[in-house]
Structure 1
Amino acid sequence: MTTAPATKTEGRRLTGRLGPIGIVFMVVAAAAPLTVIGGNMPLAMGLGNGAGAPVGFAIASLVLLVFSVGFVTMTPHVPEAGAFFSYVTLGLGERVGKGIAVVALIAYTAIQVGIYGYIGWAISDTVEFYSGPAIPWPVYSFVVLAIVAVLGYRHINLSAKVLGVALALEIGIVVLLDVVMVAKPGPAGITFASFDPGVFTQGTIGIAILFALTGFIGFEATAVFRDEARDPERTIPRATYAAVILIGAFYTLTVWAFVVAIGPDHVTAVAEQTLAGNGNMLLDTTDATLGRVGRDVVNVLLLTSLFACVLSFHNVIARYQFVLSRKGLLPARLGRVHDSHESPAFSSVVQTITAAIIVGVLAVLGIDPLVGVFGSMAGVATVGMVLLMLTTSIAVLVFFLRRRELAAGRSWQTRIAPAVAVAGLLASMWLVLSNFTLVTGGSFTLSAILAAIPFAGLVVGALVWRPSRSAASRKLDGPDGLDGLDG
């Protein structure tokens, strides 16, 4: 693989014709609905508040929807595809923006590595279930990594098509499963006990909210695809709202449907059995509902869901690196566009190498792919994501307070909603940190170290990371920069 010469590519931007539907496919695929139902749902129920888990997903959805109001309102004033980095830089200045750039890279890399561990385990488990050979999970992870590398190297439209097909099948089977579970309910019949305060306040609702938030990681990546959108100022807001609403409704309704199918009195025990490795909540319930054929189909689509998720995060990270390179925060070569594929090809290659090294180290150390790799990395990513959204909401508030003429007549979008989002995200951060040992399954010391990584990234990025000399001398009002940065 080769990239085009620097003389042809350094000044070029990424291009594409993605509409709201295409971007929503990319973002919802990153959220990996079937993966969340198979992995996060049992964790939310077994470690959290049992039958009340649907409320945790609903609360997380509401927090992110309110966050999206300020995020979308500021979008027309952010002329580059850097998502949180760009918003925070414009609102709080370059120094904080650089810190947030590091946090974003940490969060996305962590969840991607976690998914590589999960998919390696899932493929190995599936092969053995059908009497195949016992092959170590890292082998499968590296095969998937190689396929992702090829797709990520090429134009974004190819990835969008692959993700679109996988996502359509994934959502289709879960909707069918939901309908059948509600049509043929469990021993308690069609019940709304999940939404009874006496039920959803039992156990730890914070755990349910935590794993619900993890399931949304990547939704804000709508802004990362700005340069490849057909009409960014209209496409990005529509895609952001659509992604949050679709993901939130899908999670909440599906988790409730599983409570209906299993019964509110039994769902916690079933989830705990899954976590203990003595069953599979998703596949066993599917078997009882749709039969063996249905179980087999869901099993295959769970694998495609994981693949779609890891491919989507690969594309997001490659574009983050691309934008940061254009800002002089990473080596210039990462900011080149491939002459034929019109993709951030070199950035994609670097991302592949980074993921391969981390997965390789974890494999050599013999880390368990689910609890050790997926659980811990998902925890780091969740802390990072809440920190990113919290800082972004503060940036939105500051941005419009400094530019009152832009906020005139829009108090809800520019002040109230961002302030409510800050409060909700602060509460979410407290819930995440106070229950972090349950997420990692490790000691307090290990959990504290993992939880501190995103905060350390913020500090290091703000204090140590400096633009390159060429970037510092470049005027930041062209197509690759921000006009009027604060700070």
Structure 2
Amino acid sequence: MAAPVESPAPPARLSGTLGVGSIVFMVIAAAAPLTVIAGTIPLGVGAGNGAAFPMTFVLCAVVLLLFAVGFCAMSPHVPDAGAFFTYIRHGLGRPLGLGAAFLALATYTAVQAAVYGYIGAAINELVTSFGGPSVPWWAWTLLVVAVVGVLGYRHIELSSRVLGVLLIAEIAIVLVLDVVVVARGGGAEGFSTALLDPAQVVSGEVGIAIMFAIASFIGFEATAVFRDEARDPQRTIPRATYLALVVVGVFYALSTWAIVSAWGDEAAVAEAGADPATFLLRTFENWLGPVGLHLVTVLLVTSLFAAILSFHNVAARYWFALGGHGAFPGACARTHDRHGSPHVASLAQTVLAALLVVVFAIAGLDPVAQVFAWMAGTATLGVLVLMVLTCVAVLAFFARSGVDRRVWHTRVAPALGLVGLLVCLALTINNFATLIGGSTGLAVAIGAVLVVVFLAGVVVALVRRPTTADGTDPDNTDGVARRTPRENV
């Protein structure tokens, strides 16, 4: 008698009971609201469409909400963690899906590296402002890498609690400024109305304004990455996605409007253009005094830390996904016996981040003007490409499978979102040299690296095609979600 065939072990799964609030905290933390207020708003106001920049956040939020409609409609039919990777694989096939996974990992690693550069410089500036010693930025950054590595190794709930505390603090200080400005009726010119004037919204360098605004939302799409760790993913993921977008969009638009009102339209543009690095700090000092200035300086560092931790968790889950898919060593798909975390994947991301910091330090790169600018620009371009591919995947998936007949959710909204994202992508490519603060040659080189990373994923998918025990192709082509022992996403 033949021996019975053992059933394959079930794929490793992450565990957790994250609710809507916890996931929203993590994705908004990734957006780093205070960092956006301090870094992006001065650039959008000073170099973009001026005092009307608050409306740019609203327009970008609308485009991303249209993207989210199809994203969330497809979510119940793709019940696996992995976000971009999973959606694109189910909609456009495994080669493009794995190419997207490689690109996503590179993108999130780039944005994490960007913030690592910024936080090293910010901590040193904070310490020296209180009379402490000046230390090379990379020393502070490597310390942060170690702390993030410890938190990423443990259960996701710990990271969620840390991010929740830090996020509340950074949002609270900005809201205090907003309330004070509104309570006093704005600055000398009263409240700004430029955001309500269509002529001013499209004035100046509106392309640059849109480019900086869309970059401020990076991270919201990571809600789907935490699917396995959500309490009720069918309801939690869509709610968290919509809520994160609305909260971030309203917060950015309201706070930018309050800051512009605090200065007055012309003065805000002049001040932001003259010295964007200190624009927010001067605003807080003028309206909240020295105490407000010290608080926002400290909270800017915690905002950066929250963003790094959130992006670390996202990147680690891509390592985990690629390990389960067979593209990376299988050890990356292991979960910790006690923490239920992707501990090997988290360690891999920690080592990669540390290596990048060492390389940047040896190369003598400036942590803000070069590391932050180059890596943040790379991430913006990568995320836009991934969202465009996801929109196409959503349209293709529903057209082929027919599992959802709602026209708005499966056709109209995704198509409108695709058009909006293509416009944002075209503007970003056109202004990419400005975004990274470098030359056209550097912009072309970064774009080429992203293309090579994407193609590497496609090649791996074609060379290492997985099959089930009976030799059949496990890829989903009919709208029915399936798993194999080698696939977690």
Q: Do 2:14 and 2:340's aligned partners in 1 also have CA atoms closer than 8 Å?
A: yes
Cα distance in 1 for partners of 2:70, 2:486 equals 22
Could you tell me how far 1:126 is from its partner in structure 2? 1.4
1:447 aligns with 2:443: yes
| Counterpart in the other structure of 2:250 | 249
| Counterpart in the other structure of 2:234 | 233
1:327 aligns with 2:346: no
Cα distance in 2 for partners of 1:16, 1:226 equals 9
Q: Do 1:152 and 1:345's aligned partners in 2 also have CA atoms closer than 8 Å?
A: yes
| Counterpart in the other structure of 2:109 | 109
| Counterpart in the other structure of 1:135 | 135
Q: Do 1:30 and 1:217's aligned partners in 2 also have CA atoms closer than 8 Å?
A: yes
Cα distance in 2 for partners of 1:305, 1:462 equals 35
Could you tell me how far 1:11 is from its partner in structure 2? 4.0
CA RMSD of aligned residues (A): 1.9
- Segment drifting more, 195-204 vs 424-433: 195-204
Deviations 1:153-176 (A, max 9, x none): 000000000001111111111111
Cα distance in 1 for partners of 2:174, 2:10 equals 44
SS in 2 for 1:265: helix
Could you tell me how far 1:480 is from its partner in structure 2? 6.1
- What is the TM-score normalised by the length of structure 1? 0.93
Q: Which residue identity is paired with 1:478?
A: R
Unaligned runs of 5+ in 2: 1-8, 475-481
| Counterpart in the other structure of 1:3 | none
| Counterpart in the other structure of 1:420 | 416
Cα distance in 2 for partners of 1:396, 1:364 equals 43
| Counterpart in the other structure of 1:6 | none
Q: Do 1:337 and 1:345's aligned partners in 2 also have CA atoms closer than 8 Å?
A: yes
Cα distance in 1 for partners of 2:269, 2:369 equals 19
- Assess, with a 3 A threshold, how the Cα gap between structure 1 residues 461 and 293 changes in structure 2: closer, same or farther: same
Q: Do 1:194 and 1:264's aligned partners in 2 also have CA atoms closer than 8 Å?
A: no
Summarize the alignment of residues 284-295 of structure 1 with structure 2, pairs less than 5 Å apart: 284-295=282-293
1:210 aligns with 2:211: yes
1:23 aligns with 2:23: yes
Q: Do 2:11 and 2:487's aligned partners in 1 also have CA atoms closer than 8 Å?
A: no
- What is the TM-score normalised by the length of structure 2? 0.93
Q: Which residue identity is paired with 1:273?
A: A
Q: Do 1:90 and 1:482's aligned partners in 2 also have CA atoms closer than 8 Å?
A: no
- Segment drifting more, 138-147 vs 202-211: 202-211
Cα distance in 2 for partners of 1:415, 1:316 equals 28
Deviations 1:334-359 (A, max 9, x none): 00001111100011001000011111
Could you tell me how far 1:198 is from its partner in structure 2? 2.8
| Counterpart in the other structure of 1:337 | 335
Q: Do 1:71 and 1:393's aligned partners in 2 also have CA atoms closer than 8 Å?
A: yes
Q: Do 2:468 and 2:484's aligned partners in 1 also have CA atoms closer than 8 Å?
A: no
1:354 aligned to 352, 355, 371, which one?
352
SS in 1 for 2:226: helix
Q: Which residue identity is paired with 1:254?
A: S
| Counterpart in the other structure of 2:477 | none
Cα distance in 1 for partners of 2:282, 2:16 equals 42
| Counterpart in the other structure of 1:122 | 122
Deviations 1:350-400 (A, max 9, x none): 100001111111111111111201111111100100001000000000000
- Segment drifting more, 171-180 vs 114-123: 171-180
Could you tell me how far 1:472 is from its partner in structure 2? 3.8
Q: Which residue identity is paired with 1:149?
A: G
Cα distance in 2 for partners of 1:297, 1:429 equals 36
Summarize the alignment of residues 147-226 of structure 1 with structure 2, pairs less than 5 Å apart: 147-184=147-184, 185-226=186-227
Deviations 1:106-160 (A, max 9, x none): 1101000000001111111112222322211111111111100100000000000
- Segment drifting more, 65-74 vs 10-19: 10-19
Aligned residues: 471
SS in 1 for 2:275: helix
Cα distance in 1 for partners of 2:254, 2:282 equals 19
Could you tell me how far 1:434 is from its partner in structure 2? 0.6
1:78 aligns with 2:78: yes
